Structure 1
């Protein structure tokens, strides 16, 4: 495991992220020591058993699809599907691997289609995705010709899922690092920073937004996607206990409040470019994610409310410049 991130270190040693080497190796070494306990070793064995295949087609622009069914025989396909199912639950996607459709809980492609028309073109850019999950959007960013794509998420399972997908497309420009946002130094190196579905999980949302700002070069763009509630710039929902059965939801601002926060932190050209009520077609249980999902989080008699009585999930995309 000690060599797990050596390729990444070698790449950034000669690019604009080289100063990250001052802190990153120690952080990832600490993560690896902790990963020795729990399920990580089992998931690593799953990855080691994935067969080498001939991937005849790679598609990241319109979907994430690596290989087609005819590249492999039925026995190989069954083996790959069995191994990938050992990494359940799959939450963000979908993915298509040699005709195996990983039908994830979220239709993350729908979110991507909503925000893509409103962001700066990613071609040639260094991109960071904070809280990237299993990395679905990293591949879509690469599909938009981003030059170098880095996602961070501390989950051992998400890291393992990302590595399983990357096994079939070992693109040297796409990486996931299993660290949290609190471990990011002041890099000021990325052209675009994404954070999607993270803000409301942070106890100190303004500190988090400042952390995101510190990753951007001057003139770089923040793309922020998060839960919001209706209201003016003073409206912020602080759930009493849970929101949609989630314990770790702390602050859900209105879009006006969120824009006010970003402006106070020095962001410029702050714009709300999309608002969308999450539907049960976009977030649902599947054969690849058999746990509870959105339908279980809503009031069964009134889907405009969560089961706790709060406004049902409304998500917004805000873009801003450093």
Structure 2
């Protein structure tokens, strides 16, 4: 098995944890086939080249790992400048890097999103993550999953169907010491691949996903089924101002994105959650996205937020809709129904 393939470790942990969370055993029975499909080089033409990039990354023994600061950081003493340049050149072949930041042996990956800013808004409202089993839906390259491990999680499964994100995650994992968090895994699958009523996770995160779903209530139901009774949902999504009946359904594009379907008001979102069976529902943060948080960088050189707004009025998208505002709402699957 290639050194960048952690599937054996993943399957072993799920087999062990499945003794107390049987839903994980049911998922494990399907997962090898799902992983193989998600990493099928015939379907993803660039994947073989990305694997070759990972194979070229040098082996460096890390002296320090920091998972509780803005940049997820792996450092060693006295890494030669030439080796730092080698790492930088290889990692840039995996661009664009969307979510971070990371610092890998002095290579500062300044991602499009300052995901640490979102984490700082979310973390005060979380249950204690110590020893919890966590599902991170739409995890990208896994930045928040590493932060969850830093907060003491027992297992973090990040799911995102993008093979590029999977390879980026494996690049970060490559530099982690063997005895550092072996509880964090990236699965190249979507929420639809999680078995119904898996009921295995103490905390489920869905951040930046709901507005991409054609059926938002179905997505909320899937999140509900992933949680154990009493488990906490952390939901972050685009919202608009309005009352419980307000939902924006954009035209062909919203802020240049072609896959945005429903933007509810926070009141409507809370109503949806209640209809799906959640309790203890509370919107804990509402913030307009700024160019400090989302912008083009040398690690993501395409257009970003500033290009998607009305040049005459930054409170509007270039299509004339309200500019992106994101809300964090927490809720709980009740212990009994």
TM-score by length of 2: 0.93
Show the counterpart of 1:45.
52
CA distance in 1, matches of 2:118, 2:302: 21
CA distance in 2, matches of 1:256, 1:35: 45
CA deviations over 1:164-198 (Å, ceiling 9, x no partner): 00111153100000001111112100000000000
CA distance in 1, matches of 2:74, 2:201: 31
Aligned to 1:195, the other structure's residue is in SS state: strand
Q: Is 1:106–1:282's contact at 8 Å kept on the other side of the alignment? A: yes
Q: 1:35 to 1:61 in 2, by over 3 A?
A: farther
Q: CA RMSD in A?
A: 1.4
Q: Is 2:41–2:48's contact at 8 Å kept on the other side of the alignment? A: no
Show the counterpart of 2:10.
8
Aligned to 2:299, the other structure's residue is in SS state: coil
Aligned with 1:153 (options 147, 150, 160): 160
Show the counterpart of 1:281.
292
Aligned with 1:244 (options 255, 259, 271): 255
Q: Displacement, 1:284?
A: 0.4
CA distance in 1, matches of 2:58, 2:46: 21
Show the counterpart of 1:66.
73
CA distance in 2, matches of 1:130, 1:237: 23
Q: Displacement, 1:100?
A: 1.2
Q: Is 1:134–1:162's contact at 8 Å kept on the other side of the alignment? A: yes
Q: Displacement, 1:23?
A: 1.7
Q: List runs of 5+ in structure 1 lacking aligned partners.
A: none
TM-score by length of 1: 0.97
Q: Displacement, 1:30?
A: 2.1
Answer yes or no: is 1:117 the counterpart of 2:124: yes
Q: Displacement, 1:34?
A: 5.2
Q: How does 1:121-270 map to 2 (within 5 A)?
A: 121-169=128-176, 171-186=181-196, 187-270=198-281
CA distance in 2, matches of 1:226, 1:80: 34
More displaced 10-residue stretch of structure 1: 71-80 or 102-111: 71-80
CA deviations over 1:3-50 (Å, ceiling 9, x no partner): 762221111111132231122122122223355641000000000110
CA deviations over 1:119-168 (Å, ceiling 9, x no partner): 11101100110000010000000010011111000001100100000111
Show the counterpart of 2:301.
290
Q: Displacement, 1:69?
A: 6.1
Q: Is 2:129–2:148's contact at 8 Å kept on the other side of the alignment? A: yes
More displaced 10-residue stretch of structure 1: 21-30 or 155-164: 21-30
Q: 1:76 to 1:313 in 2, by over 3 A?
A: same
CA distance in 1, matches of 2:312, 2:39: 46
Aligned to 2:280, the other structure's residue is in SS state: strand
More displaced 10-residue stretch of structure 1: 178-187 or 137-146: 178-187
Aligned to 2:103, the other structure's residue is in SS state: strand
CA distance in 1, matches of 2:188, 2:74: 26
Q: Displacement, 1:64?
A: 3.8
Q: List runs of 5+ in structure 2 lacking aligned partners.
A: none
CA distance in 1, matches of 2:145, 2:78: 24
